[in-house]
Structure 1
Amino acid sequence: MAEATEVASEHAGDEEEEHAHESRWPLPAAIGAGALYLGAGLYFMGQNLVPSVIPVALVAVGALGLLGGLAGWANEAFIADYRRSHGGDSGVLRMGMILFLVSDVATFSAGFVYYAFIRVGAWPPEHLPSLLGSLVIINTALLVASSFTLHYGHEALESGNRRRFLGLMGATLLLGVVFLGGQAYEYYELLVAEGFTLSTGILGSAFFGLTGLHGLHVALGVLLIGIAFGRALKGHYSAERDTAIQTTSLYWHFVDAVWIFLVLVLYVGASI
């Protein structure tokens, strides 16, 4: 009887530990994602059905809800209670990130195939702004530099140099934020000064579709690095416990490589 009671107690403890991982944050993240996609769909397909301010507002609110939900979820799971983030097989987590990136290659490839179909038609299109300029070069240099700071920051962690690790992680986060600011300014210049928008022919949809998709990935990467930096400040990492840094690095280097390819194909390619 005592043994059965002990087993039941252990089972109850396991259930309590399992339920301790429950979170409400996925709900606002899912609602935000739904609003984001609904707004985008209305913008492209329902311009004659609803005022244009409605889809724009839905996209803005949806993006905030999605990023806020992801940030809250990640904070609750990884930063607020570090004890909950100790479990898991590091090899499985790395393989999960690799498989995600493989699937992401297909996502970006669809956009590049769309652009390739544009290029086999009449070129240049009627409205072709100057895409390749100093801002793109600076942004590219910033993103490439951020890959180096993240790489050497990881090396500093493995060698036990905590101060260098924190400094380089902070620098990576800053470079990512500045890159996003540069892309936002580029959009402002194209939309306001050049009059180049999503509705400016099929080139406009290809350009903003590809760069916007990449920008969304950079924003997610900045979020991941921000979470990692927050955990680093709390002393969560060591040379033996660095899986989150490894998976974040894989994602960030992938985003960097996609940007370089995007610049060569879209920005440089458009001027040829």
Structure 2
Amino acid sequence: MSLADDTSEDHGDHGGHHLPAVEDWPRGFGEASWWPFITAVGAAGIYVAAALFVLGRGQEPLVDPMYGPVAVVASVGLFLVGLYGWLYHAFVVNFWEGGTDEHGSGTLRLAMILFLGSEIATFGAGFVYYFFIRAGAWSTEGFPDLLGSLIIINTSILIVSSFTLHFAHTALRKNNRTRFLQLLGLTLLLGVVFIGGQIYEYYEFIVHEGFTLTGGAFGSAFYGLTGLHGLHVSLGAVLLGIVFLRGLKGQYSAEKHTSVSTASMYWHFVDVVWVFLVVVLYVGAEI
């Protein structure tokens, strides 16, 4: 029995819905799901945990030093649970067997646009913090070589991944499924390589350069913004992985490719944010 069959027959009175969700709000507009709310609460908790971690440091901490680590574990756990439910409910179960109709696809694209709007606000808050500290007295003493070959290579990889994903989507719209899968798989590989490159960069900065999150205002801004972006790239890689698996099962066509479109919108967004991050953080720090 397929996933779609399983959800349509084995959930009893819930109408084939992966709870928590409320069916038809109003009728014809699908479901009001609690999963995005749960994910958002977990994400917000990570920021609270970071604040508790800072407040718990020093010779006279304002809160118990254990509050921060405990809050991090709880928040990350809640975030991952919400994320699992959201992805499973929105990208796997409901559309596993052939996508959406015209009304549903337009609604999903609009939802992605609104979601990206909230993401712009999230990153914007981080950039505002950076601009505030950048406006004060500034010294690059103790900074590592931010504009090394690694960041140039990693940035190039992410930019190339946007082009491969664009041409993968174009191939699908032309019903060239083989090329679609090849380019989509290449995009996913490039995304994973980028994440690995960012982890390696952190390792070099922290272990070999002594440049840490608690090493000053710039360190907190740098790791906060690049870490937030790395989290988004990881989420994008998960989305592309789901799309790739569905593509292998032959579930997309020139007429039905809504989740390919929405995942592409998200991936292009994180690519643009990264370019802005490089200009502001890596190049701007050297000026």
Q: How would you bin the TM-score normalised by the shorter chain?
A: 0.7 to 0.9
- Contact persistence 1:151–1:249 (CA under 8 A): yes
Deviates more, 1:88-97 or 1:162-171: 88-97
CA drift at 1:23 = 3.1
TM-score normalised by the chain length of structure 1: 0.82
Deviations 1:67-98 (A, max 9, x none): 46524552455435624953552122112211
Go from structure 1 to structure 2 and tell me whether the alpha carbon gap of 1:271 and 1:108 turns closer, same or farther (over 3 Å shift): same
What residue number does 1:128 align with? 143
TM-score normalised by the chain length of structure 2: 0.78
CA drift at 1:43 = 1.7
Go from structure 1 to structure 2 and tell me whether the alpha carbon gap of 1:266 and 1:139 turns closer, same or farther (over 3 Å shift): same
What residue number does 1:246 align with? 261
Root mean square deviation, CA, Å: 3.0
- Contact persistence 1:75–1:227 (CA under 8 A): no
Q: Could you tell me how far apart the structure 2 residues matched to 1:199 and 1:190 are?
A: 13
Partner letter of residue 270 of structure 1? A
Deviates more, 1:118-127 or 1:134-143: 118-127
What residue number does 2:18 align with? 22
Q: Could you tell me how far apart the structure 1 residues matched to 2:137 and 2:15 are?
A: 59
What residue number does 1:46 align with? 56
What residue number does 2:271 align with? 256
Consecutive unaligned residues of structure 1, counting only runs of 5 or more, are 1-12
- Contact persistence 2:161–2:191 (CA under 8 A): yes
Q: Could you tell me how far apart the structure 1 residues matched to 2:223 and 2:133 are?
A: 14
Aligned partner of 2:72 among 59, 76, 80? 59
Q: Could you tell me how far apart the structure 1 residues matched to 2:170 and 2:228 are?
A: 30
Alignment pair present for 1:214 and 2:229:
yes
Alignment pair present for 1:70 and 2:104:
no
CA drift at 1:63 = 3.6
Deviations 1:103-144 (A, max 9, x none): 222221222222222222222244322211111001101100
Deviations 1:136-162 (A, max 9, x none): 001101100110110000011111111
**Which of structure 1's runs of 4+ aligned residues deviate more than 6 A?**
none
Alignment pair present for 1:155 and 2:170:
yes
Partner letter of residue 59 of structure 1? V
Consecutive unaligned residues of structure 2, counting only runs of 5 or more, are 1-8, 21-33
- Contact persistence 2:38–2:78 (CA under 8 A): yes
**Secondary structure of the equivalent of 1:89?**
helix
CA drift at 1:58 = 5.5
**Secondary structure of the equivalent of 2:193?**
helix
Aligned partner of 2:132 among 102, 106, 117? 117
Q: Could you tell me how far apart the structure 1 residues matched to 2:41 and 2:283 are?
A: 38
Deviations 1:146-182 (A, max 9, x none): 1011000001111111111111111111111111111
Identity %: 55
- Contact persistence 2:162–2:187 (CA under 8 A): yes
Q: Could you tell me how far apart the structure 1 residues matched to 2:86 and 2:116 are?
A: 21
Q: Could you tell me how far apart the structure 1 residues matched to 2:50 and 2:135 are?
A: 27
Larger radius of gyration: 1
Aligned length: 258
Partner letter of residue 46 of structure 1? G
Partner letter of residue 266 of structure 1? L
CA drift at 1:252 = 0.7
Q: Could you tell me how far apart the structure 1 residues matched to 2:158 and 2:170 are?
A: 19
Partner letter of residue 22 of structure 1? H
CA drift at 1:59 = 3.4
Alignment pair present for 1:233 and 2:244:
no
Q: Could you tell me how far apart the structure 2 residues matched to 1:67 and 1:180 are?
A: 18
Q: Could you tell me how far apart the structure 1 residues matched to 2:148 and 2:166 are?
A: 28
